[in-house]
Amino acid sequence: MRQVETGLKVCQFFNGKSFKVLLCNAWTCLQVFFRAGVLGMMEEIREDRIAEILSWLQATARGKMGRITYKKLQEQKASLKRKTRGFAKH
């Protein structure tokens, strides 16, 4: 048994043909049955979705870092031009 964030206790049973998940809180218990293979399919879908979300998150973070670096380089370039102009005047 493991505690889920929602306060439900989860018990898992397998009898060869079907997989039973028992969700219990303080007042009620809910039984959820899955045919053999359905749970594996659900796990694959979950893994694919997690991979998709992580790829999106990594791409977003990389894009943000790239934009920050580009902005810093543009500021350095403008600063160098201003300094060069200042030295040329004197």
pLDDT of the chain, 90 residues: tens digit per residue: 444 445 556 566 556 556 666 667 666 666 666 677 777 888 888 899 999 999 999 999 999 999 999 999 999 999 998 888 877 776
Q: In whole angstroms, give the CA distance from residue 34 to residue 44.
A: 15
Same domain, residue pair 43 and 83: yes
- Structural domain of residue 74, as residue ranges? 37-90
Same domain, residue pair 66 and 54: yes
Same domain, residue pair 78 and 49: yes
What pLDDT was estimated at residue 59?
97
Total number of domains in the chain: 2
What pLDDT was estimated at residue 13?
58
Same domain, residue pair 70 and 57: yes
Same domain, residue pair 44 and 75: yes
Same domain, residue pair 53 and 81: yes
Sheet holding 18-24, edge to edge: 2-3, 9-14, 18-24, 29-35
Same domain, residue pair 44 and 31: no
Same domain, residue pair 30 and 47: no
What pLDDT was estimated at residue 62?
97
What pLDDT was estimated at residue 65?
97
What pLDDT was estimated at residue 2?
47
